[in-house]
Amino acid sequence: MTSRLENIKQQRREKLERLRNQGVDPYPHRYQRSHTTAEARELLTREEAGDTQAEEVSVAGRISAIRRMGKSSFADISDSSGKIQLLFQGSGFDEKLRNLLKDLDIGDVIGVRGGLLRTKSGEPTVQVSDFTLLAKSLQPLPEKWHGLSDTETRYRQRYLDLIANPEVKQAFKIRSQVISAIRQFLNERGFLEVETPVLQPSAGGALAQPFTTHHQALDRDLYLRIALELHLKRLIVGGFDKVYELGRTFRNEGISTQHNPEFTMLESYEAYADYQDVMAMLEEMVSQVSRQVLGTTEARFGEDTIDFKPPWQRLSLRDAVREHSGIDFAKYPTAETLGTEMRSRNIEVDQDKNWAKLVDELLKTFVRPKLIQPTFVIDYPVSMSPLAKSKPGEERTVERFQAFAGGMEIANAYTELNDPIEQRERFTEQLKERRGEDEERWTIDEDFLLALEYGMPPTGGLGVGIDRLVMLLTNQPSIREVILFPQLKEKGE
């Protein structure tokens, strides 16, 4: 038995064939619009106020509703700026247009020309004098597509989500505005935007599993970058004092409400600066971006209102972990002793995690969820930060911070280690901890160390997770809500 959906699709194909037989091109090359729907509504307001002469407009968009009422029909069309009502009075059309009007469906894209009026109910309307089919929709929109809520459909068929849910489209407009505002902020401060390789011979700049690919011409394996850091610091060595990149990075790890295998990072590096300078810049940048995009430094996130206005709270990592977990990790300098103390407090301990990862686990479990208002957690153990510079007089502590808001990490930064000898020692220690893993994957980036040997000035570096920042500014609980096409499991899994 043929399903209702198949019947509807068949009817639409029959309409398509009928239109073609009548000489109608259902997919023309272009259409000249004079106004968006929002501009047309604004023009009507000006006409009614006597600020401008009445004129015809040409608008275009997707049909979102049709109401047939005898010889007249009403329809709504939507474009990226909003929607407007159309009034078709069939007696004013020739036979070809009357037949076309009968064959229009919800989902079709049309262009219309006509004057503007306001109906008795106060609705801005185009009184259509001529119209053109621009794209015949062969697939019906989902049932109850106004407010499409099935998350599986929304993520897999984002185009339907954008058609059905205007607030989703708004979230992605804000995302674009956030990125533009960040660029503007950095450009005005003399930073140069650059591009660095996505394909890299070694996975460096962060502790993460990379994606591997093979270059046929070179006959060698390469890795999708897990960070932007090492190439950007090469540019500092080369004489660019302020550089940044907004780019995709890739980590072959878990998927969650806060993690996607590919995500957007901002990394910036400033010569002659340290992590204190970077902290000041970050809180100023985020507050300014929030004001520019939202009109305020305050953003609603779940049940909380987050205020990005500087200054942000500052906590040392040791104090924060001690306060929220009751453990002073500095008193337990090995994985064995720290693990024993954690187990004594009924904290689950992964036997394979080293000391640095156990400290990070304490941070993630006990501290991060409590940091709703913007907070800098500063001064990390050296073993957690192989690319960061030690604090003067404190060999075991480095000048690093992570920024948190809404219970999420949104940024990571440090005073960059620029001593090539110490950097090699740190990399070597890191490799020892990864013994037993893929030795070819985890290698020392010799060219980066060579660059450091030519001399890199004191430098402050910053990494910001753009997706998580957008989550906060658009009140979205999942990273999938701010990535247009998130990675998903195979359908049916």
Strand extents, DSSP E, 189-316: 192-193, 199-200, 212-215, 220-224, 242-250, 262-271, 298-301, 304-307, 313-316
Residue-level pLDDT at 434: 60
Residue carrying the six token digits 């780019």: 247
Query: Nearest-CA neighbor of 185 among 37, 50, 288, 64?
Result: 288
To which H or E segment does residue 398 belong?
strand 394-405
Residue-level pLDDT at 440: 46
Contact 58, 30 (CB under 8 A): no
Cis peptide before 140 (omega within 30 of 0): no
CA–CA dist 76, 269 (Å, integer): 50
Query: Nearest-CA neighbor of 456 among 234, 222, 175?
Result: 234
Burial class (CB in 10 A: 0-12, 13-18, 19+), 29: exposed
Residue-level pLDDT at 147: 59
Each residue's pLDDT tens digit in the chain (493 positions)?
Answer: 568 889 999 999 999 999 999 999 999 999 999 999 999 999 999 999 999 898 999 999 999 999 988 888 999 999 999 999 999 997 778 888 999 999 999 999 999 999 999 999 999 999 999 999 999 999 998 766 555 777 888 899 999 999 988 889 999 999 999 999 999 999 999 999 999 999 998 887 777 889 999 999 999 999 999 999 999 999 999 999 999 999 999 999 888 889 999 999 999 999 999 999 999 999 999 999 999 999 999 999 999 999 999 999 999 999 999 999 999 999 999 999 999 999 999 999 998 888 999 999 999 999 999 999 999 999 999 989 888 999 998 888 999 999 999 999 999 999 999 999 999 998 888 777 665 555 445 578 899 999 999 999 999 999 999 999 999 999 999 999 999 999 988 776 5
Query: Nearest-CA neighbor of 418 among 276, 236, 265?
Result: 236
Q: Kindly compute the dihedral angle of the four CA atoms of residues 200, 206, 207, 212, in this order, to the nearest 10 degrees.
A: -20
CA–CA dist 399, 403 (Å, integer): 13
Residue-level pLDDT at 285: 98
Q: Kindly compute the dihedral angle of the four CA atoms of residues 280, 266, 187, 298, in this order, to the nearest 10 degrees.
A: -50
CA–CA dist 462, 464 (Å, integer): 7
To which H or E segment does residue 411 belong?
strand 408-415
**DSSP state, 312?**
P
CA–CA dist 315, 330 (Å, integer): 16
Query: Percentages helix, strand, coil for the chain, rounded to the nearest 5?
Result: 35, 25, 35
CA–CA dist 62, 142 (Å, integer): 15
Contact 296, 290 (CB under 8 A): yes
3-state secondary structure of 217: coil
Residue-level pLDDT at 399: 97
CA–CA dist 316, 127 (Å, integer): 65
Residue carrying the six token digits 């808001």: 405
Where helices occur in 49-150 by DSSP H, the ranges are 95-102
Residue 236: how many other CB atoms lie within 10 Å: 23
Residue carrying the six token digits 């940048």: 285
Structure tokens at 119: 């109906």
Give the neighbor-by-neighbor strand order of the sheet with 199-200: 199-200, 220-224, 212-215
Residue 316 pairs in a beta bridge with: 378
